[in-house]
Amino acid sequence: MASESLTTTGYIKHHLTHLTFGPHPDGGWGFAHSADEAREMGFWAIHVDTMLWSIILGVLFLWLFRKAAKRATSGTPGGLLNFIEWTVGFIDDNVRGSFSGENKLIAPLALTLFVWILLLNTMDLVPVDWLPYLTQLFGDYVLGVDPHHVYMKVVPTTDPNATFGMSIGVFLLTLYYSLKIKGPIGFASELTMQPFQANNILLKIFFIPINFFLEFIGLVSKPLSLSLRLFGNIFAGEMIFILIALLYSGGVFWALLGGFLQWGWAVFHILIVLLQAFIFMVLTVVYLDMAHQEH
């Protein structure tokens, strides 16, 4: 690949740089040619690779489930249908065990988050050079762009913009149902009347700002922990794959060792890929269940 001529630091930096589209200093819009140029684009920069793979995998998820739904019959299900029925049943059992309210949105939301995040995380198991190499070939031979300026991060969940986007969506749903179920006064009381309580009116007034401070931190920490947990675990796994890939340039012995390490880490990382999708889904259901509970 073209990045073979890079230094070790350059190789790692190349793999950690997004294909970024945004405004240039001259006022025009275009793709960034370096990590520094991508940072200078600021808030309006778009990580095209994150958007591209998120949409592709989202469409794949919808297509697979629609295909299975159209094939559903009363007879013995095939492999795909059997797997999807098991997935739906697994999510339904978890929602029933974690959500005590009545809301028809929760189960489909949990299914969507679990399967979509699982697909996004699974991209981490694709060898780190394959898709970036194909992207560089496309940029070099089709677009006539220097391949060193073509970037491609193929794991959307290693981008905090993606994980924060999902967690903020969950957070907004939590606020919406908290206000809908408890009402503005009930939700405000929940934030100001606990954990410290008192019968004396003066103490109640004294505890209001303290309670609000503590509860507000707990409220805001939910989307932060939800997004950073997913991002941190998948990003760390991707970094290890990149470091292992560096061994392939060190000769036959290091290449064989790299292949062994890559296989071992991939097997272990399957658990992380599944677990992080499951944790995100379960915490979403728990947060929404808390929003539906009236104290």
**Could you read off the pLDDT of 20-59 as tens digits, one per residue?**
999 988 888 988 888 888 889 988 999 999 999 999 999 9
| pLDDT at residue number 49 | 93
Phi-psi region of 102 (alpha: psi -120 to 50; beta: other; left: phi over 0): beta
Please give the structure tokens belonging to residue 35.
């990590």
| pLDDT at residue number 74 | 64
Give the chain's mean pLDDT: 88
| Residues 133, 150: Cα–Cα separation, whole Å | 9
Q: Which residues does 67 contact at the CB level (< 8 Å), separation at least 6? A: 80
| pLDDT at residue number 235 | 96
Q: What is the pTM of this model?
A: 0.90
pLDDT band at 293 (very low <50, low <70, confident <90, very high): confident
3-state secondary structure of 144: coil
3-state secondary structure of 193: coil
pLDDT band at 124 (very low <50, low <70, confident <90, very high): very high
| pLDDT at residue number 109 | 96
Q: Phi then psi for 41, rounded to 5 degrees?
A: -70, -20
| pLDDT at residue number 151 | 85
Is the pLDDT confidence value at 144 over 50? Answer: no
| Residue at token pair 């060898």 | 127
Q: How far is CA 289 from CA 17, 40, 192, 292, in A?
A: 38, 41, 20, 5
Is the pLDDT confidence value at 1 over 80? Answer: no
pLDDT digits (tens, 9 = 90+) for 81-117: 888 989 999 999 999 999 998 899 999 999 999 999 9
pLDDT band at 196 (very low <50, low <70, confident <90, very high): confident
| pLDDT at residue number 227 | 96
User: Quick one: average pLDDT of 240-249?
Assistant: 91
Residues annotated as catalytic are 225, 229, 233
Is the pLDDT confidence value at 2 over 50? Answer: no
pLDDT band at 140 (very low <50, low <70, confident <90, very high): low
| pLDDT at residue number 3 | 41
